[in-house]
Structure 1
Amino acid sequence: MLRVLILSLITSVSIWSAATPAQAENVKKAQFGDSKPVNWKGRAPSTYPVHGIDVARFQEQIDWKSARKAGVNFAFIKVTEGGDLLDPMYADHWRGAKKAGVARGAYHFYYFCTKPEVQARWFLKNAKKDKGSLPPVLDMEWNPFSPTCKKRPPAAEVQKQMKTFLKIVERGYGQRPIIYTTPQFYRDAGLHQMKNEEYWLRSTAKTLDKAFPGQKWSFWQYSATGVISGIEGDVDLNAFVGSKADWKKWLKARQR
């Protein structure tokens, strides 16, 4: 009897794990709140059907099952920063998202006082390469609060470092990273010059056609004050650019 029970449990876990990538295609309607809602002028985030979040150590405990039920279809999870920082919540978030059927990808926060080669190797050392993973993300933004590095290289140097990081990670991870950025960094670094890249753009007060005129995008971070069942405190909210059918196509093309 005990042997049968153990085999049953193993089978259940296997089925659950194997089903996870497919579950990500089953879009749940977003039932999010916002502690500081915006009166959008133009196409509001709510008109996009596929929503998700991004998380780091600040979200210490997440009930991923509840979050998934509330409409979290994808999650970008911080894994590394610079050349030596590993986010302490990465492993927990990564496992929890997978078990709940949330499509998840890992992101790296860039640090301008460490060589891009060192940062790329650090990311590759720590980011899990599980089946069903979304593309990795390179988070590019100025960090005026950093106690150790306040460098702001010129645009040409920024782009050079980014291209080095992107090339190494693409070769090592097997997927071309998505670039996350803010309006100010985008302008300062001249990122409109980096053609054929995939973008995840932040704008919490204006629609993206106003904040990033002419720039194509796949993900829009539209709030830093989201309220979601299963998550304590505020959380970043994001929308995918297309329809449910577009989401399935994108997953097919970009999942591992």
Structure 2
Amino acid sequence: MSLYGIDISSWQSDLDLSQIAFDFAIVKATEGIDYINPCFKEHAQQVLNKGKKLGLYHFANNSQYTARQEAEHFINKCRDYIRKSVLVLDWEEAVHDVQWALEWLQTVEWETGVKPMIYMSESVVNAYDWSSVANAGYGLWVAKYRDYNPDYNYDMTNAGAEPEVNYWPFYAMWQFTSSGRLEGYSGDLDCNVFYGDLAAWDKYAGITDNVANQPAEPTPAPTPQPTLKHKIGEYVYFGSCYISSTAKIGWPPNGEAVVPEIKEGTITAIYEGTNNPYLINDGMCFINDGDIRENTENPDRQYVVEVGDTLWDIAGSQLGDPTRYQDIMLWNGLTNDVIYPGQVLIIKE
């Protein structure tokens, strides 16, 4: 089952959403660190009043501001809609800094508990190494148009070839035209297909309280899954790990299995239903219960990052020497000095 919808901004200020057909509408909320779409709340409320699915996006100005600044701006202006909408980073600027995008996505996830998506064109997806974003489980919304001829009422007959992307095994949405036309509105609209049902949309949005009330096609009873033995925040030791949660178990030497120098770390996220559900150290690798070794001698301590903390400060307070911040990076598999409130760090003696 698929859903069909539009994405809009202030360019569609005259659009009355009650007059057109859609399953979902994704509304531009913010840009940079101070811009707010003046139609944002009006359009968002129209979507909800109509009983349809809502998404909100932030347009990145990554050449001007930090990822954290822009993430905080987006979160602050969208608080009333968190867990009511899919959250999206719109990535279109000429400066393509993958680490910036990853930091924005991680900041939004840490502060809202919802994993956002990222929007890009097919060409941008394939021009840069997005493996860190894809492997961290952030969904992809991809744009690709065959032409700019009008497409009417979500008719994809002339949409052209589907996008082909690297790094992601699948994409959640395809924006197939920017020249969409719908009955009830005379202007052009971006039209999209979401590859999932209403319940799948709610999972992306982090909605947990109304899924049972949504109309949906009956689905067969799920196959019972084994109960996971470990939880977020646990410090574990392991023998092998993988670069993605969906990697087949036992793929070396040419598959996705990796052998990191560090074979211990903290479980920072869990992706149930995948082969390797435990994410270690915010992206070092993924493991499963079978990889985890018992170790009763664990002298290491855990430190939970607080607002305003830096690795320099933590090294000073926990190790007595701020210049040892690089040791903390090594122990936790960090590739840079970016940390987040609530993040669990391992401090060795």
TM bin, normalised by shorter chain, reads 0.5 to 0.7
Q: Distance in 1 between matches of 2:115 and 2:80?
A: 13
Please give the TM-score of this superposition, normalised by the length of structure 1: 0.68
Give the AA of the match of 2:143. Answer: R
SS of alignment partner, residue 91 of structure 1: helix
Asked if structure 2 preserves the Cα contact closer than 8 Å seen for 1:183 and 1:202, the reply is: yes
The one of 61, 86, 97 aligned to 2:47: 97
CA distance in 1, matches of 2:106, 2:143: 23
Distance 1:187 1:214 in 2: 8
What are the within-5 Å matches in structure 2 for residues 1-256 of structure 1?
Answer: 49-67=2-20, 70=21, 72-112=22-62, 113-130=64-81, 133-143=84-94, 152-153=95-96, 158-194=97-133, 195=135, 196-205=137-146, 206-209=160-163, 211-212=164-165, 215=168, 216-242=170-196, 247-255=197-205, 256=207
Q: Which amino acid aligns with 2:162?
A: L
Q: Say if 1:103 and 1:132, in contact at 8 Å, map to a contact too.
A: no
How far does residue 64 in structure 1 lie from its aligned partner after superposition?
A: 1.7
Per-residue deviation, residues 62-109 of structure 1 (Å, max 9, x unmatched): 222221xx3x00011000111111111111111111111121011001
How far apart are the structure 1 equivalents of 2:46 and 2:128? 35
Change (3 A) 1:232 1:92: farther
Asked whether the equivalents of residues 6 and 192 of structure 2 are also in contact (C-alpha less than 8 Å), the reply is: yes
Instruction: Give the AA of the match of 2:24.
Output: F
| Percent identity over paired residues | 23
Contact 1:56 1:78 in 2 (8 A): yes
Deviation, 1:252, is 4.1
Structure 2: which 5+ residue stretches go unaligned? 147-159, 208-349
User: C-alpha distance in 2, partners of 1:183/1:139?
Assistant: 13
Counterpart code for 1:181: M
Larger radius of gyration: 2
- Greater shift, 225-234 or 122-131, is seen at 122-131
Whichever structure has more helix as a proportion of its residues is 1
Q: How far apart, in 1, do the equivalents of 2:42 and 2:191 lie?
A: 20
Shift of residue 58, structure 1, vs aligned partner: 0.4
Instruction: Report which structure shows greater RCO (CA 8 Å, sep ≥6).
Output: 1
The CA deviation at 1:229 is 2.4
Q: Assess if the C-alpha contact under 8 Å between 2:47 and 2:53 holds in 1.
A: yes
User: Deviation at 1:185?
Assistant: 1.8
1:232 Cα offset (Å): 3.7
- Per the TM alignment, residue 116 of structure 1 is displaced from its structure 2 partner at its CA by 0.6
How many residues align? The count is 189
Residue in 2 that maps onto 1:10: none
